[in-house]
């Protein structure tokens, strides 16, 4: 039996928690059938809010630290937790070794702070597994072609774990601070229902649209390489959620869950002559500055005094502000409005492909709650609306009732 087990930040926030995980791994090792090999690879996040604290330290010096150095700094968080777990495992008499991203040779490409895994060399891991070690790997980090430490973007330890499971050809268990994947973030809506099985597609969409419980890229890798992913609560005996192939879900729900994303900025530009050429200048400028544009709406094309609006992640705000200044130079007459008091609510469900009426019910719910929306988009398996933040709870509760979530 071979398994990759990943523990998130809150699960390794204290020494006691780390010792309890070590104890659990000891029991797991002891519980396997006689003669059966039990190969365990553990992937860890940094302890508690360590990554946030490291970023804050750098920002005490400058609001925009050099991304290479920020990567080097952030990666130290995971180095702490893996060494501590390894010490705890050895203390229980187990053989254990901690390995950084570069020691494993998790090779990455891309730009600092948002790298992608290119290859993983499993030689070292295989060697230690063969000698009965528990291998504890630092999540979230890798090494680039010139030998610099890199990180995979916030929440990236999920990706490290699933990518390792894919290369080691085994299942992946993700342990966190909730009992599994719920129809709605259980910290926002306490009556949310735990989901036993969810398809890769739905989980990917939910994660992309704001459900922070799993990183979307991790699910994408899981789907691509057929890695079975289990999400459950650290050290709990209660069943969690399996992320699996769509075909394994017999009864497809029309709507499986609701994602809430409060990290949204909505920009509206008035007095904008939205001829195709001008629209192209606008979005080329945003693209050049690396802004991830999400929803877009505009009044009639070729309207001289037109209006165009778009949304982007709140985390892009500094660069967005700079871009809007550049834009104003290009189009001096425009009136730009920026709102941070909005959020995106998305309903996700694989059954939307073959059922109609979901959008109608969403608009009925908006009508019932007398909430107006600013923007709306749909994909094959989701529908999203932008509403004011103060209305989010009220709307989500009503949606949950109307869609039995």
Site string for Mg ion, 145-174 (x = CB under 5 A): ----------x-------------------
What is the C-alpha separation between 172 and 3, in angstroms, rounded? 6
Q: How far is the CB of 157 from ligand ASP (least distance, A)?
A: 3
Question: CB burial class (10 A; 0-12, 13-18, 19+) of residue 124?
Answer: middle
Stretch of 1-9, 87-95, 110-118, 292-300 contacting Mg ion, by CB under 5 A: 1-9
Nearer to Mg ion among residue 9 and residue 306 (C-beta): 9
For the residues of 291-318, what is the DSSP string, one character each?
-----EEESSTT-TTEEEEEEEEGGGHH
| Contact with ligand ADP (CB under 6 A) among 187, 224, 288, 401 | 187
Nearer to ligand ASP among residue 77 and residue 180 (C-beta): 77
* Position 211 contacts ligand ADP (CB under 6 A): yes
For the residues of 165-234, what is the DSSP string, one character each?
HHHHTSEEEEEESSSS-BSS-TTT-TTPPBPSEEEHHHHHHHHHTT-TTS-HHHHHHHHHHT--EEEEET
> Mapping DSSP to helix (H, G, I), strand (E, B) and coil, where does residue 336 land?
strand
Nearer to ligand ADP among residue 46 and residue 327 (C-beta): 46
- 3-state class percentages of the chain: helix first, strand second, coil last, to nearest 5: 40, 25, 35
Q: Could you list the residues that contact ligand ASP (CB under 6 A)?
A: 8-9, 45-46, 51, 77, 139-140, 154-157
| Contact with ligand ADP (CB under 6 A) among 153, 212, 313, 351 | 212
Contacts (CB under 6 A) with ligand ADP, residues 152-171: 155
Q: Which partner from the list ligand ASP, ligand ADP, Mg ion, none does 341 bind, CB cut-off 5 to 8 Å by kind? A: none
Nearer to ligand ASP among residue 139 and residue 180 (C-beta): 139
Q: In the sheet where 264-272 sits, what is the strand order?
A: 296-298, 306-313, 264-272, 335-339
> Mapping DSSP to helix (H, G, I), strand (E, B) and coil, where does residue 386 land?
strand
- Determine contact, residues 267/294, Cβ cutoff 8 Å: no
Nearer to ligand ASP among residue 155 and residue 257 (C-beta): 155
Nearer to ligand ASP among residue 217 and residue 223 (C-beta): 217
Length of the chain: 405
Question: Site size for Mg ion, by CB under 5 A?
Answer: 2
* Position 25 contacts ligand ADP (CB under 6 A): no
Nearer to Mg ion among residue 8 and residue 180 (C-beta): 8
Nearer to ligand ASP among residue 73 and residue 170 (C-beta): 73
**Partner residues linked to 367 by β-bridges:** none
Stretch of 15-23, 122-130, 178-186, 375-383 contacting ligand ADP, by CB under 6 A: 178-186
Using the CB atoms, write b or e for 126-143: b if 16+ within 10 Å.
Answer: eebbeeebbbbbbbbbbb
Site string for ligand ADP, 228-257 (x = CB under 6 A): -----------------------------x
Q: Which residues bind ligand ADP (CB under 6 A)?
A: 8-11, 45, 155, 176-178, 181-182, 184-187, 211-213, 257
Q: Which residues bind Mg ion (CB under 5 A)?
A: 8, 155
């Amino acid at each position: 039996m071979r398994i990759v087990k990943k523990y998130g930040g809150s699960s390794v926030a204290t020494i006691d928690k780390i010792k309890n995980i070590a104890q659990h791994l000891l029991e797991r090792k002891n519980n396997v059938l006689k003669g059966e090999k039990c190969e365990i690879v553990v992937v860890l996040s940094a302890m508690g809010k360590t990554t946030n604290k490291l970023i804050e330290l750098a920002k005490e010096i400058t609001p925009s630290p050099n991304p290479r150095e920020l990567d080097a700094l952030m990666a130290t968080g995971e180095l702490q937790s893996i060494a501590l777990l390894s010490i705890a495992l050895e203390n229980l008499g187990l053989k254990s070794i901690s390995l950084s991203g570069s020691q494993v040779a998790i090779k990455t490409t891309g730009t600092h702070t948002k790298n992608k895994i290119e290859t993983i060399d499993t030689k070292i891991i295989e060697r230690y597994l063969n000698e009965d070690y528990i291998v504890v790997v630092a999540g979230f980090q890798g090494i680039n072609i010139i030998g610099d430490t890199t990180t995979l973007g916030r929440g990236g330890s999920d990706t490290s774990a699933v990518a390792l499971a894919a290369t080691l050809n085994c299942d992946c268990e993700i342990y966190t601070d909730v009992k599994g994947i719920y129809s709605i973030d259980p910290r926002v809506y306490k009556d949310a229902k735990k989901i036993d099985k969810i398809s890769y597609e739905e989980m990917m969409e939910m994660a992309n649209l704001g459900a922070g419980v799993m990183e979307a890229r991790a699910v994408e890798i899981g789907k691509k390489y057929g890695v079975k992913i289990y999400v459950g609560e650290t050290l709990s005996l209660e069943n969690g959620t399996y992320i699996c192939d769509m075909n394994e879900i017999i009864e497809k729900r029309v709507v499986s869950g609701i994602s809430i994303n409060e990290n949204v900025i909505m920009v509206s530009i008035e007095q904008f002559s939205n001829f195709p050429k001008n629209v192209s200048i606008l979005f080329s400028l945003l693209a050049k500055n690396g802004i991830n544009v999400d929803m877009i709406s505009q009044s009639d094309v070729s309207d001289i005094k037109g209006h165009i609006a778009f949304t982007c992640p709140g985390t892009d705000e500094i660069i967005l502000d700079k871009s809007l200044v550049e834009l104003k130079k290009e189009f001096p007459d425009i009136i730009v409005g920026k709102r941070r008091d909005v959020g995106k609510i998305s309903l996700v469900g694989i059954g939307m492909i073959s059922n109609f009426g979901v959008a109608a019910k969403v608009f009925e719910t908006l009508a019932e709650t007398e909430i107006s929306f600013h923007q709306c988009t749909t994909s094959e398996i989701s529908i999203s609306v932008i509403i004011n933040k103060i209305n989010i709870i009220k709307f989500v509760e009503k949606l949950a009732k109307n869609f039995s979530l």
